[in-house]
Structures are given as C-alpha cells and as structure tokens.
A and B are shown apart, each in its own frame.
Chain A
Amino acid sequence: QQPVQSPQAVILREGEDAVINCSSSKALYSVHWYRQKHGEAPVFLMILLKGGEQKGHEKISASFNEKKQQSSLYLTASQLSYSGTYFCGTEWAGSNYKLTFGKGTLLTVNP
C-alpha cells in the first residue's frame, strides 16, 4: 500500500517554512525520509521508528504520529539547497521489512 504524500508540490521563498506529510492506511513500524535532486539519486535524511519520536537534523526535523499512522517532515528557514523531491518510505507489519515509497513532494525554494 503506497503511502500518500501531501502536498504534491510546494513553492517557497528562501527563509520560509514548509511541512510535508506522509500518511498510511497500515500500522507502521518505521518511516524513512529521502530527498532527491533533479537527475540525482535519493539521499537519506532520517528514519522515524514506531513510538512517536521526533528527530531533527539542523533545520529539518520530522515526527511520527503512531495513532494517525502519519509522519510529517518540517523544513524551517528554508535554503535554496533544500529544493528537490522529498519521498517518504514506509514499513509496516506484513511488508517483510521492505519499504514502500510515496509519489514524492516537489519542493522549490526561490531566492
């Protein structure tokens, strides 16, 4: 079951904040977040494990709401380098440890 990401696309000015959501109909064990720049490979950002923890990496953080089976990625004070497509990958009971990726959210940061 492919997770649903929202929004599909977002345009920001440098310094603005954004939230990207990833929702699943399955009971999740973990959520991965990756960023992919145009023409490049996806690059790992962070893993959220079952338990509702929140993680952060400089100005990019994420949360995992176990009750809602939803993860949110928070980008604060966005920089031009944040531009790219963000993917969530989910693992759930019965997925046999494999990840299923969402369709992605295209983030564009303008000067």
Chain B
Amino acid sequence: NAGVTQTPKFRILKIGQSMTLQCTQDMNHNYMYWYRQDPGMGLKLIYYSVGAGITDKGEVPNGYNVSRSTTEDFPLRLELAAPSQTSVYFCASSYSIGASSYNEQFFGPGTRLTVL
C-alpha cells in the first residue's frame, strides 16, 4: 500500500514551458486535492475532485488545470509557467469530505518546482 505518490520530486522549468505533475493514490479514495505551499504561507488549495470526472476550483486555480479520468489519478497541468508558480506542490486524498471523523487527508511527498 503505497498511499499517495507524486512525480517528479523536483523540476526546474523555464518561463513559458508547460508540465504535468502526476499524482496517484491506491487507497480507493474518492476525494483528491492539489495544494501549493509557499514559505510561511501554509497550504493553498488549487483544485480538488470529488470523484472521477468531477473537479472544481479551489482558492488559487489560475494558471493550472486538472483532470480526473480514474479514481486513482489526479494530474495537475501547468500551462505557460511563470516565476510565481515556484512552489512546493502537494497532492492529497481522503476517504470522505466534510465534518466527519473519516476525512483525514493523506498527503503525497510533494513536488518542488522552480520556474526560472
């Protein structure tokens, strides 16, 4: 049981390039999330998904896109990378959502992205 896995671990992009951050979970969780973490700012939600084929914007969605074709995978796409997208990106998943004892979020190890 690997939990939540993310690839790559590190990436350097040039301004204007595009890339996809991969996220896979093997816990059969319906709910998946993408966060970015900037120093001293906590975790900001980019996009989330409540199941295959259903995604919605979070707090900071501009410059990103997501898709969810399977329960297991939730890739995050960066188009036209900008220096402001330099951050650590975490993918997470949970069994349920809302005020429940079962909506603990499991986080992947993160992807450290630098845009130069």
Contact = CB atoms under 8 A, between A and B. Distances in A.
Interface of A: 2, 29-30, 32, 34, 40-44, 47, 49-50, 87, 89, 91, 96-104
B97 A41 contact: no
Contacts of B97: 97
A99 B35 CA distance: 11
Nearest to B104: A44
B107 A42 contact: yes
A43 B110 CA distance: 12
A100 B41 CA distance: 11
11 contacts: A34-B105, A40-B109, A41-B108, A42-B107, A43-B107, A44-B104, A47-B103, A89-B105, A97-B97, A100-B59, A101-B43
Contacts, number: 59
Given A41-B107, A87-B43, A103-B42, A49 B58 contact: no
Interface string B41-52: 111110010000
A104 B110 contact: no
A29 B90 contact: no
Contacts of B104: 32, 44, 47
B interface, how many residues as a size bin? 20 to 34
B90 A50 contact: no
B97 to A, nearest CB: 4
Contacts of A32: 104-105
Interface in B75-96: 90
B106 interface: yes
Given A44-B105, A47-B100, 18 more contacts: A2-B42, A29-B98, A30-B99, A30-B103, A32-B104, A41-B107, A41-B108, A43-B107, A47-B101, A49-B99, A50-B99, A89-B105, A99-B105, A100-B45, A101-B42, A101-B44, A102-B42, A103-B42
Interface string B39-71: 011111100100000001011000000000000
